[in-house]
Structure 1
Amino acid sequence: MGNLMRGGSSTDKVNTDSSLKGSEDDMVVVLQDYPLPEISEPIYRMGEKLRLIAQEAYWWRVRSIQTQKENYIPNSHVAKVFHGWLFESVERQKAEELLCLPGNRVGSFLVRESARERGLYSLSVKHRIVKHYRIFRLDNSWYYISPRLTFQCLEDMINHYSDFADGLCCALTSPCLSGMTPPSDASPGAPPVVMRRNFDWKKIDRRQLVSTDSPGDNMVSYGVRNSIAAYLSFSGNDSAQTRAESRKKKRKSVYALPENGLGNIDYDDDF
């Protein structure tokens, strides 16, 4: 398929490691519970995302996205994350542990940089198992997983494999842990929940249930009365026969995992 270029000139493309890791606030992900559960109740759990406030030698000051509270954590317990999917210095086994956390679905992925050698990348994808693909780099700094398809930058590669599996185990769906970040606060327009007093349904006059013009202090809400009236009207017209015919028309839904070229590319690595 040759080199893939997404709109814009080549000068607009990002093709250096330094530019990949700039232009956004520093985010880190917790790689293991801290402190360990056998020591005390953990302050931070594996997979939790934190905002990096300051790097102070071995200890980093971080802020919880969920609680907004600040604290310190050893830098060995966290990894920087860029663009939501580029994880710095994460080993293969730790990538599998992160992708297997609840909230990640089929197609969840991350690109991890080798902890042993900077500039070496792998793509890890959750499928039936976690699959790993070595990302190679040409002399001109273009990237590829399959030699037949090269990309000027990692963003282009992720964009392409999000649209097409193209030899991977499946298309990429969402960055690892993206579904695990809790909302900062409740939606401002959420209506209040009002609890109605308990009452005995047996003591309700049937005329109150089907009437749509009852007084506002009726024990049954206007919406419920409308629904009941509509149901009673519908159920009076050969309801038994209608329900029987409806049951015959039901069909089972079956979800099958994609098989897009499974095994066509599998550059498994050891770092």
Structure 2
Amino acid sequence: MGNLMQSGSSTDKVNTDSSLKGSEDDMVVVLQDYPLPEISEPIYRMGEKLRLIAQEAYWWRVRSVQTQKENYIPNSHVAKVYHGWLFEGVERQKAEELLCLPGNRVGSFLVRESARERGLYSLSVKHRTITHYRIFRLDNSWYYISPRLTFQCLEDMINHYSDFADGLCCALTTPCLSGTTPPSDASLGAPPVVMRRNFDWKKIDRRQLVSTDSPSDNMVSYGVRNSIADYLSFSGNHSAQTRAESRKKKSKSLYALPDNGLGNIDYDDDF
């Protein structure tokens, strides 16, 4: 853990920001249908993910993740996405529209960077409504939503709130638009159905139900195991504690003030 009050140089801040965006292939998400439906049948729909091929001034060349077809789209109609959850230059209202699209569920989220000022972030979470939280940054470049908990980077913040709500409206589950919708094609036919006979629940070890290791040897399909894992994560604290312990091995850059309260969380009403 770092020193909470240690100040970082401006160079450190630049490196911190660039590290969020430097290691992945460029992905963009469509912010509004293009072309508009009143003009012609849209080529790209709001919420669709595209691979950025080339940036050419106002027009960007993109490739559809679903169809692999390339085309051009105005850069005003898309936003870059990093790590699956960091959306660049997305305003509050557009974040709400994206989170309300089909495929998102309770706990779906995105971190959005202000279009007006770089380096300012907010967390938007789908619950009963879409709730927004301002993400603050200390002089030493650590981040926090509640002053009681500070994090060395945004990834650590997302990892923590994926394990515990800790004052948020709910724990984070999946990044916004993380589900992929296959292209509709009747020629694909129905998926094959595999039947397992002589299945006895009493003989199944609980670890087999939630484990993702060696899926070919598991007696329960991936979809069923995933559903059971989701149920267990909401039915008690044991699953959350297990996930927290596994994440703890990956990152320990969490600083918690010795306070029994939840601290003050700033709901983002303007940004």
Range into which the TM-score falls when normalised by the shorter chain: 0.5 to 0.7
Q: CA deviation at 1:131?
A: 0.2
Larger Rg: 1
> What secondary structure is seen at the aligned counterpart in 1 of 2:179?
helix
CA separation of 1:202/1:140 partners in 2, compared to 1, >3 Å: closer, same or farther?
closer
Is the 1:3–1:149 contact (alpha carbons within 8 Å) kept by the matching residues of 2? no
Q: CA deviation at 1:270?
A: 1.2
CA separation of 1:234/1:185 partners in 2, compared to 1, >3 Å: closer, same or farther?
closer
Worse overlay, 132-141 or 218-227: 218-227
Cα deviation code 1:118-151 (max 9, x no counterpart):
0000000000000000000000000000011100
Mark the runs of 5 or more structure 2 residues left unpaired by the alignment.
none
Distance in 2 of aligned mates of 1:243 and 1:154: 18
CA separation of 1:35/1:251 partners in 2, compared to 1, >3 Å: closer, same or farther?
closer
Is the 2:32–2:77 contact (alpha carbons within 8 Å) kept by the matching residues of 1? yes
CA separation of 1:67/1:206 partners in 2, compared to 1, >3 Å: closer, same or farther?
closer
CA separation of 1:257/1:51 partners in 2, compared to 1, >3 Å: closer, same or farther?
farther
CA separation of 1:175/1:257 partners in 2, compared to 1, >3 Å: closer, same or farther?
farther
Worse overlay, 217-226 or 68-77: 217-226
Cα deviation code 1:130-181 (max 9, x no counterpart):
0000000000000000011100000000000000000000000000000144
Is the 1:122–1:132 contact (alpha carbons within 8 Å) kept by the matching residues of 2? yes
> What secondary structure is seen at the aligned counterpart in 1 of 2:54?
strand
Write out the 4+ residue segments of structure 1 that deviate beyond 4 Å after TM superposition: 1-15, 183-264
CA separation of 1:263/1:178 partners in 2, compared to 1, >3 Å: closer, same or farther?
farther
**RMSD after superposition:** 13.6
> What secondary structure is seen at the aligned counterpart in 1 of 2:242?
helix
Number of the residue aligned with 2:25: 25
Distance in 1 of aligned mates of 2:262 and 2:82: 28
Worse overlay, 49-58 or 213-222: 213-222
> What secondary structure is seen at the aligned counterpart in 1 of 2:29?
strand
CA separation of 1:225/1:110 partners in 2, compared to 1, >3 Å: closer, same or farther?
closer
Q: CA deviation at 1:193?
A: 8.3
Distance in 2 of aligned mates of 1:42 and 1:176: 22
Distance in 1 of aligned mates of 2:37 and 2:110: 27
Is the 1:4–1:149 contact (alpha carbons within 8 Å) kept by the matching residues of 2? no
Is the 1:135–1:143 contact (alpha carbons within 8 Å) kept by the matching residues of 2? yes
Is the 2:148–2:263 contact (alpha carbons within 8 Å) kept by the matching residues of 1? no
Number of the residue aligned with 1:86: 86
CA separation of 1:74/1:165 partners in 2, compared to 1, >3 Å: closer, same or farther?
same
Distance in 2 of aligned mates of 1:6 and 1:32: 43
TM-score if structure 2 supplies the norm length?
Answer: 0.67
Is the 1:170–1:260 contact (alpha carbons within 8 Å) kept by the matching residues of 2? no
CA separation of 1:244/1:217 partners in 2, compared to 1, >3 Å: closer, same or farther?
closer
Q: CA deviation at 1:208?
A: 38
CA separation of 1:168/1:262 partners in 2, compared to 1, >3 Å: closer, same or farther?
farther
> What secondary structure is seen at the aligned counterpart in 2 of 1:160?
helix
TM-score if structure 1 supplies the norm length?
Answer: 0.67
Mark the runs of 5 or more structure 1 residues left unpaired by the alignment.
none
Distance in 2 of aligned mates of 1:20 and 1:239: 29
> What secondary structure is seen at the aligned counterpart in 1 of 2:233?
helix
Is the 1:34–1:73 contact (alpha carbons within 8 Å) kept by the matching residues of 2? yes
Worse overlay, 2-11 or 207-216: 207-216
CA separation of 1:257/1:50 partners in 2, compared to 1, >3 Å: closer, same or farther?
farther
Worse overlay, 18-27 or 236-245: 236-245
CA separation of 1:72/1:263 partners in 2, compared to 1, >3 Å: closer, same or farther?
farther
> What secondary structure is seen at the aligned counterpart in 1 of 2:182?
coil
Is the 1:32–1:46 contact (alpha carbons within 8 Å) kept by the matching residues of 2? yes
Distance in 1 of aligned mates of 2:234 and 2:87: 57
Q: CA deviation at 1:265?
A: 2.8
Is the 1:48–1:181 contact (alpha carbons within 8 Å) kept by the matching residues of 2? no
CA separation of 1:184/1:237 partners in 2, compared to 1, >3 Å: closer, same or farther?
closer
